[in-house]
Amino acid sequence: MRIGFLVNNYPPHMGGVEIHVQNLAKELHRAGNDVYVFTLGDAYRVRYDDGVRVFELPKRLDIGGVFSLPSERSWQHVRRKITELGIDVISVHTRFFPLTWLGVAIGRWSGIPVVLTEHGSDFVVSDSALVTVASRLVDLTIGRWSMRSANKVLGVSPAVTRFVHRLSGVNAQVFYNAVVEPNAASHNLLHSPCDLMFVGRIVEGKGWRSFLRLAEQLHDDEPEVTATVIGTGPEYDLMRAVAPAWVKITGQIPHEDVIGRLAGATLVNPTMLSEGFQTTVVEAVVNGGRVVSYPEPAAVVLESEGAPVVVVPRGDEGALENATRQMLSAPPEQLGEAQTRKWLWPQRAQEYSRICVQLIQAK
């Protein structure tokens, strides 16, 4: 097949959606498909990412390094290239990005099947009233239209599919996030459960303050407890200013380095946001680590399957501390090989391929 991904952001721009798209695109290419990615950048260029051809198109109106619009010429270029390349299936991700809207529109115009994968489990919540209102307006208009107009809608967790139905009335199919196969080298360098990890954007809703308070409490009692904060964001400078000197702060680092730091460690995940399905949680478990988390779809599913994951009530820092202490004193057993394999990208890409073939055959 010839599969075209239309996504606002793609690595080296990092985030959960970006990693999902990159791994899926690479795995589909390894399976013998021709895969193309159309994304936004500072200027037009064409590059290759492990065999996946990436078209970077000029952007404008960059908001927070996350949301931007393609230029008028970029809209026209994507539409022309989709036709020239003979794309069989268009893949778009998350309802509120302009390239999602463009991909759905091109699919309707050209008769190419469109698969929309939703990654959010609720409306966007922000400290900014303007962002909250504007995003809700987008969701209720063009976001809803995108879901209703796509040929197939997927959601990365049951919570996401419930949100899709609530927003659009569409019955989405669960398509869980996945992770890359564990690196043998990282397993030979397992960290201690006493190495506490926080991974995510440094924004209020991700819970970095809760993580630092927890780390200080445990470190005061057990000096061997260490803490590492991985990520960057609007509150990065503030976080650096208030963090104890003994806390390691890495900023944004390569994804493979994040996985290496998670191996064998304890991921503390005090997120208060409406997450879709955090791959970081799965990566921690698959790479020999453990997780203590507020309710989040990946953590809830993995805990139910017997993974070394403990979920505590959202916002209850006392429960988070108690669960972490218990995790450090008596680390639970890891998942077996068969249970681990189901969370890897080769299996998930096969599932995605079957969905695409069904859509092509139904044309």
| pLDDT attached to residue 66 | 62
The reported pLDDT for the residue numbered 186 is: 52
Query: What pLDDT sits at residue 289?
Result: 92
pLDDT single digits (tens) 230-282: 999 999 999 999 999 999 999 999 888 999 999 999 999 999 987 878 889 99
Tokens encoding 34: 């021709």
Q: What's the DSSP call for residue 348? A: H
Instruction: Please answer whether residues 97 and 105 qualify as being in contact, where contact means their C-beta atoms are separated by less than 8 angstroms.
Output: no
- Say how far apart CA 363 and CA 343 lie, in whole Å: 31
CB atoms within 10 A of CB 361: 8
In this prediction, residue 14 carries a pLDDT of: 77
Give the Cβ contact number of residue 45 at 10 Å: 11
CA dihedral 26, 282, 121, 20 (to 10 degrees): -10
Task: Tell me the average pLDDT across 331-339.
Answer: 81
Give the neighbor-by-neighbor strand order of the sheet with 226-230. 248-251, 226-230, 195-199, 266-269, 290-293, 309-311
- pLDDT at residue 65, rounded to an integer: 58
For residues 52 and 37, the answer to whether their CB atoms sit within 8 Å is yes
Whole-number Cα distances in Å, 335 to 178, 332, 363:
15, 10, 41
Q: What's residue 185's pLDDT?
A: 54
- Residue 184's pLDDT is 59
* Residue % of the chain over a pLDDT of 90: 73
Query: Residue 62: pLDDT band by 50, 70, 90 thresholds?
Result: low
How far apart CA 182 and CA 198 sit, in angstroms, is 20
List pLDDT tens digits, range 286-312: 998 999 999 999 999 999 999 999 999
- pLDDT score, position 64: 58
Mean residue pLDDT across the chain? 92
Structure tokens at 351: 């599932």
| pLDDT for residue 134 | 84
CB within 8 Å of 88: residues ≥ 6 apart? 1, 2, 3, 112, 113, 356, 360
CA angle 65, 70, 73 (to 5 degrees): 150
User: Any alpha helices (H) in 46-191, and if so which ranges?
Assistant: 72-85, 98-110, 129-138, 144-149, 158-168, 184-187
Task: Give the pLDDT confidence score for residue 148 in this predicted structure.
Answer: 98
Q: What is the mean predicted confidence (pLDDT) over 189-208?
A: 88
**pLDDT tier, 324 (very low <50, low <70, confident <90, very high otherwise):** very high
Quick check: 189 pLDDT over 60? no
Note the pLDDT of residue 46.
96
**Strands 290-293 and 266-269, bridge-based pairing:** parallel
What secondary structure letter does DSSP report for 344?
B
Q: In the chain, count of helices (H) and strands (E)?
A: 15, 15
Residue 177 sits at the vertex; the CA angle it makes with 211 and 19, to the nearest 5 degrees, is 75
Mean pLDDT confidence for 151-159: 95
- The pLDDT-based confidence of 318 (bands split at 50, 70, 90) is very high
pLDDT value of position 74: 82
Q: What percent of the chain has pLDDT over 70?
A: 96
What would the 3-class secondary structure string for 122-153 be?
Answer: CCCCCCCHHHHHHHHHHHHHHHHHHHHHCCEE
